[in-house]
Amino acid sequence: MQSIQAIDSHTVGEPTRVVIEGGPPRQGAVLADWISHLRTEQDDFRRAVANEPRGSEALVGALLYEPFDPTCDVGVVYFNNVGWLNMCVHGTIGLVVTLQHLGRLSQGRCRIETPVGNISGLLEAKDRVTVQNVACRRSQRSLVIDVPGYGQISGDVAWGGNWFFLVDDHQQHVQYDNLERLKHCAWSIRRTLEREGIAGDDRGEIDHILLFAPPTRDDADSKNFVLCPGGAYDRSPCGTGLSAKLACLVADGQLQPGQIWRQESILGSVFEGTVLVEGGKLTPCITGSAHLSAEVKLLFDPDDPFRHGIPAPKTGA
């Protein structure tokens, strides 16, 4: 019977499953070949690990591989219930804690190859990690769209490793007891962006929606609700989303390099974010905590009709 070994963790509530043994072997001569192979030939693996009955809509998987770039310590590709992800900061925080658990983290720091560029992770304490992400940027400011059932909504389009639409004027109650309404609003925004053909400046799909509100914690600067690509909400403040937010704040003169922004999640947990500016590029540094939750051996019975997972609904939220 086929099996896969993995380590589960959660980053302030958002789960990560790092596949350490039994995943597909690396293919191709360059990173782009490997990513293409995973997307076209290994979707059964993705679904089997991330989807029910072994996974959940909130779970992000991380497939480790030997990096193509010799300057990197490890390569990783992230995935969730509906596809392969460009980048995932909460997952990287979980990955660093996992590597420490496995004895694979030298001096608490590692350089990591991802599909969108090299990043780094620094273990600052037993469970506290700072990720230096890929460069972030704002693509469009105050873009107005007409969302059915919600009227005109204005937001920014920004890149933080994934493409985001960031909204302040949504008129929604950003609290945990209002999840279904928040999901419906955010999904309606995403469908409107798709219908209008609105995308990132590289024509990348805007598959994450961020709704902001004043914080409920005295030590936070803002609170958010994050809709992920498969229609699940992010339990964490979302590290790539915070990276996109930082790009907007810097562009508006509301944040200076080195100044800390504390972003509260829908659960009340917090990430800290700062930016470095070099060569005209904004590089976000995101700090958060992760905790190990399980050492997992996933079993795949050839007679199991759902051995490749239950496909996620196409309609989302």
Residue 229 pLDDT > 50, yes or no?
A: yes
Q: Is the pLDDT of residue 315 over 90?
A: no
- The distance from CA 302 to its chain's CA centroid, rounded to whole angstroms, is 32
Amino acid at 155: G
> Which residue in the list 88, 136, 185, 248 is annotated as catalytic?
88
Known catalytic residue: 88? yes
**Residue boundaries of the structural domains of the chain:** 2-134+292-300, 137-285
For the cut 50, the answer to whether the pLDDT of residue 175 exceeds it is yes
Question: Which pLDDT band, with edges at 50, 70 and 90, does 313 fall under?
Answer: confident
Is-same-fold flag (2-134+292-300; 137-285)? yes
The whole-number pLDDT of residue 215 equals 98
Q: Find, among 47, 80, 78, the residue nearest to 304 by Cα.
A: 47
Residue 34 has pLDDT above 80, yes or no: yes
What percent of the chain shows pLDDT beyond 90? 95
Q: Which CATH number fits domain 137-285: 3.40.640.10, 2.60.40.10, 3.10.310.10, 3.30.420.10?
A: 3.10.310.10
Q: Which candidate in 110, 136, 228, 238 is catalytic?
A: 238
Per-residue model confidence (pLDDT) at position 280:
87
Residue among 51, 62, 84, 53 nearest 313 (CA)? 51
What is the β-pairing status of strands 151-159 and 163-167? antiparallel
Distance CA 204, CA 96 (A): 28
Catalytic annotation present for 238: yes
107 vs 10: which has the higher pLDDT: 10
Interatomic CA distance for residues 205 and 89, integer angstroms: 19
Distance in angstroms (rounded) separating the CA atoms of residues 224 and 304: 40
**The predicted structure's pLDDT at residue 160:** 98
Q: Which pLDDT score, from 0 to 100, does residue 317 have? A: 45
Q: What percent of the chain has pLDDT over 70?
A: 99
Which pair of structure tokens corresponds to residue 280? Answer: 């005209």
Average confidence (pLDDT) over 297-305: 95
What integer best gives the mean pLDDT of the chain? Answer: 96
Q: Is the dihedral of CA 220, 221, 223, 227 positive or negative?
A: negative
Cα angle for residues 112, 12, 200 (degrees, 5° grid)? 55
> What does the H/E/C string look like for 16-51?
EEEEEECCCCCCCCCHHHHHHHHHHHCHHHHHHHHC
- Find the mean pLDDT for residues 213-220: 97
The pLDDT tens digits for 231-283 are 999 999 999 999 999 999 999 999 999 999 999 999 999 999 999 998 889 99
Answer for the pair 3, 298: CB distance below 8 angstroms, yes or no: yes
Short-list 186, 214, 210, CA closest to 138: 210
The CATH number of 2-134+292-300, from 3.10.310.10, 1.20.1250.20, 3.10.50.40, 3.40.50.720, is 3.10.310.10
Question: What are the pLDDT digits (tens) for 50-72?
Answer: 999 999 999 999 999 999 999 99
Residue 314: the pLDDT is 66
What pTM, to 2 d.p., does this model score?
A: 0.96
